[in-house]
Amino acid sequence: MIMIHYKEIEQNLQQEYFILKSKKSKLGNIRLGFFALGSVLFYFYATSTNNLYLILSILFFVTLIILIIKTSKIVAQLEYTTQALEIIQQIKLDDTTDLFVTDNDKFDNIFNKDLDILEENSLFNRINKTQTRIGSLQLKNFLSTPLLNREEITNRQKSFAELAKKHDWIIKFLTYAKRLNINETSIFKYEKRVFVNLSIRFIPLVISIINFSTFLYLIISKSNTKAYFYWLLVAFIVGVLINFIFKKQIRKVSAYTTMKADELVNLFEIFNHIEKEDFEAYLNKSIQQKFNHQNQKSSELIKAISLSKEAIEASYFPLVGFILDNLFLWRLYYSIQFEDRIQRTVELLKPWLEELSKMEAFISFAIFNNKFQNFNTPIIVEQPFLFELKDAYHPLLKENKATKNSFENQYCNNIAIITGANMAGKSTFLRTVGTNLVLAMNGANVSANEMKFYPMELFTSIRTVDNLSSGDSYFKNEINKLRILIDCLASNKPQFIILDEILKGTNSEDKLIGSRKFLEKLIKSPTKLIGFIATHDLELTKMEIEYPNHITNYCFELKNVNNQYFSDYILRKGTTKTMNALYLMKQFNIID
């Protein structure tokens, strides 16, 4: 259920939307009336030559222009309000659609596919409220590279907690972000100056002064039409020649960015929105401070660029642009100014956009924390062997439908061996642990009443498949994955290890012997680790007797009700006593 604060904002925006729509309709009718009356009065003037009709006609048309400007502002407000309402609709949805799925290949780590972090019904789609590709990339990067530093995680927690309270600010931020068309952090393609000689900027000024002075002289001296004609002819010839000389430079400057002036204005708005806010959390303040460069705000620099770009775009208007370009060298002057302003900003822009993408990702986490009120902030502990979950469930499941489980480990290099029948809940529990660890090490809340953990690298092997392109078998790929784990441990990198049915690509005897030796290697590792291993191999559970301080058996049991087997999906200590493979095969008429 959407948070009450966002509901209130939505109601206010809906009221504003209908008011603006009504104003737009009324102004449309008034404009039509003024145009009709102005036209009639001008007709009366043309037929009667009464100057009063002309004055009234001009007044009506001037008022019409004012009404058109006012209407355009209302249309802009209406567009913003519509987009803000769309943002709230997105916040209402539990899951969003990933618009940049092809980017997922950039984040091919050891656990993403196993835990559904990015693909299909994923943790990313549950959290994601980003509006730009750079924001989406940043969120995927965060989820794919959990933090291992306690202080950094704590700072993230504080950042998300502060942002979660800024409901109005978040809606405005995401609405501004929605209006941006930014897919990468390099929006200016600038290499080196094309207007190397800065004195060139004086040419348009000199030409403009000469032409304007000549025009005034011709008026004052009451020159004839012929004099005006020759002046305009010479002025246009000079203007065309100068523009031709600098044609290549002007074209190169225009290619510095594909963004239009109004898109640069959108960038100014979102930068300004960040700069004006009051933040207390360290990370939020840190992001904000990076939008200031030598006491000059990023928004001011972007605003200056947008004004230059707007002036250049004005030169493309028919007739007006032709006059501006050739009488005043308008495009040349503002191209020099545009290049100068980009040169002062281009090196700063990429860091600004990176910080913008961070804020966008942080806001996604903040909304996630705020929306799922029953999730809780995990506690970071100092002991690498301490891990605790109370009433935990998978964060993508509905709480009222999920079965909650608890788990506690207080032993060094402890491995939980989890047994149980097919579809009893083993894999879901493994993913519950792994996904909540990804959330916790990102500073987000977790789907548990309580969670205590020590940040460590996360290793999973749940979905291993054949690789037809490389010719590697299932077993070879599994061995390759386990080799990565051993190398990590040899490098003294503490690990959370989550394995589903290890060595299942070989025969039963080799599997049992190999699994035992592998677990013994983990237990004896000098590097700290906590392991979760699901298996159907009940012989493996006998290791608990040999290694009581390192192996703990857990299971998911089935209940037999009228010869029908059901799982209650509750994790218990001990070894399972019920398997259901034969029962399921009979149920689906695979065997008799």
Summarised one tens digit per residue, pLDDT across range 247-275 is 998 888 888 887 888 888 899 999 999 99
- pLDDT confidence of 320, banded at 50, 70, 90? confident
Question: What percent helix, strand, coil does the chain show, rounded to 5?
Answer: 60, 10, 30
Beta-strand ranges (E) seen in 373-425 are 379-380, 387-392, 405-409, 414-420
Mean pLDDT of all residues in 77-100: 91
Give the tens place of pLDDT for each residue, 182-208: 777 667 776 678 888 878 889 989 999
Report the 10 Å Cβ neighbour count for 233.
10
pLDDT at 580 over 70: no
- Check: CB of residue 459 under 8 Å from CB of residue 496: yes
- Domain 100-371 of CATH type 3.40.50: no
CA nearest neighbour of 462 among 404, 501, 488 = 501
pTM beyond cutoff 0.85: yes
Mean pLDDT of all residues in 383-394: 93
- pLDDT confidence of 41, banded at 50, 70, 90? confident
Q: Output the CATH code of domain 379-588.
A: 3.40.50.300
- Would you give the distance in Å from CA 488 to the centre of its chain? 31
Q: Higher pLDDT residue, 41 or 393? A: 393
DSSP state of 105: G
Give the tens place of pLDDT for each residue, 7-36: 899 999 999 989 999 988 998 898 899 889
Give the tens place of pLDDT for each residue, 279-298: 999 999 999 999 987 778 99
DSSP assignment of 21-66 = HHHHHHHHHHHHHHHHHHHHHHHHHHHH--HHHHHHHHHHHHHHHH
Task: Determine the angle formed by the axes of helices 4-48 and 167-179, rounding to 10 degrees.
Answer: 50
- pLDDT confidence of 227, banded at 50, 70, 90? confident
- pLDDT confidence of 468, banded at 50, 70, 90? very low
CA nearest neighbour of 174 among 270, 98, 89, 76 = 270
DSSP-derived 3-state class of residue 461: strand
pLDDT at 110: 92
- pLDDT confidence of 156, banded at 50, 70, 90? very high
pLDDT at 578 over 90: no
- pLDDT confidence of 469, banded at 50, 70, 90? very low
Mean pLDDT of all residues in 438-455: 97
Query: Residues of 427-451 as b/e, b for ≥16 C-beta within 10 angstroms?
Result: bbbbbbbbbbbbbbbbbbbbbbeeb
pLDDT at 506: 63
Q: Which of 100-114, 144-158, 314-328, 554-568 has the lowest mean pLDDT?
A: 554-568
CA nearest neighbour of 124 among 106, 114, 110, 112 = 112
Q: For the chain, which residues make up each domain, given as ranges? A: 1-92, 100-371, 379-588
Mean pLDDT of the residues in the chain: 87
Percent of the chain with pLDDT over 90: 49
Token couple for 581: 């493979």
Q: Higher pLDDT residue, 560 or 46? A: 46
